Copies of this chain bind each other. A is one copy, B any other.
Amino acid sequence: ELVSLSHDFFCDKYLQGQHWVITAGPTREAIDPVRYISNHSSGKMGYAIAHAAIRAGAKVTLISGPVNISAPVGCQLISVISAEDMHQQALKFAPESTTFIACAAVADYRVANIASQKIKKTNDAMHLELVKNHDIVADVACLPNKPFMVGFAAETQNIEAYARGKLVRKNLDLIAANDVAKSGQGFNSDDNALMLYSAIDKTEIPLANKQIVAQKLVSLINQHYLAKQI
């Protein structure tokens, strides 16, 4: 009985015929040839979702910033560095997808004028002028034939309010929120806990290994996706 249950859970190809595009990892915004701005995303959550979606039978395109983990066997890996690279690749692959998962921690701002040579530290202070990057998930959600849209919100305070605001503002179907200020979950941790919000409900995925959280999340996303097709 347990064997057959776990067989169903791990091996049922319930995403067969779907194409998931998943963004993962951080982006790096160059300051000069040696310095950059980035963030603490390890890519683990996005890679775990890619892995779980492949096991469930989906075709997966993984658009990833620079990380130190290996891509799951069977995915199409598109490696990028900056947010603008990721934006370009996301708009290229999203139109052919059924589901778009924006799990990457994309830099909101890039450096206005990237120095072509290493900046010398001649001054006691330095000013970096930053300009806003394109909003990848919002732009994908504006596509005429937009896929089922799942965003992420990594927050340090007022989690639900920010997450629900983002869900509506960016025209998403679902948003998965986590509290990156809590130790032992979120950025660079092997574990995570998520709250998944739709316009009308919310579901908790309790603290667990990111592989387990990803399996539950993939299944939940698919349930919402199927409900929308009716």
Q: Give A contacts to B, CB under 8 Å.
A: 31, 33-41, 68, 105, 107-109, 112, 117-118, 121, 123-132, 154-157, 180-181, 187
Evaluate contact between B180 and A34: CB separation under 8 angstroms: yes
User: Does B37 lie within 8 Å of A31, measured CB to CB?
Assistant: yes
A187 contact from B34, B38, B127, B187, Cβ within 8 A: B34
Closest-CB distance, A108 to chain B (whole angstroms)? 4
CA A31 – CA B36 in complex, angstroms? 12
Q: How many copies does the complex hold?
A: 2
Known: A31-B37, A37-B37. A155 touches B124 (CB 8 A): no
Question: In the complex, how many angstroms separate the beta carbon of A103 from the nearest chain B beta carbon?
Answer: 14
- How many Å from the CB of A83 to the closest CB on chain B? 11
**Chain B residues with CB below 8 A from A36, complex form:** 37-40
A155: chain B residues within 8 A (beta carbon):
118
A121 close to B105 (CB less than 8 A): no
With A34-B40, A118-B154, A127-B128 known, 5 other A-B pairs at CB within 8 A are A36-B40, A118-B156, A125-B130, A126-B129, A127-B127
CB atoms of B109 and A156 under 8 A apart: no
Taking CB atoms, residues of chain B closer than 8 Å to A132 are 121, 123-126
Q: Which residues of B contact A126 (CB under 8 A)?
A: 109, 129-132
Partner of A105, one of B34, B112, B130, B131: B34
With a cutoff of 8 Å between Cβ atoms, the chain B residues found around residue A187 in the complex are 34
With CB as the reference atom, state the residue of chain B lying closest to A67. Answer: B68
- Output the least CB separation between A190 and chain B (Å): 15
- With both beta carbons as reference points, the residue of chain B lying nearest to A108 in the complex is identified as B121
Q: Which residues of chain B are near A112, meaning CB under 8 Å? A: 125
Residue of B34, B131, B156 near A117 (CB, 8 A) is B156
CB of A56, distance to nearest CB on chain B (Å): 30
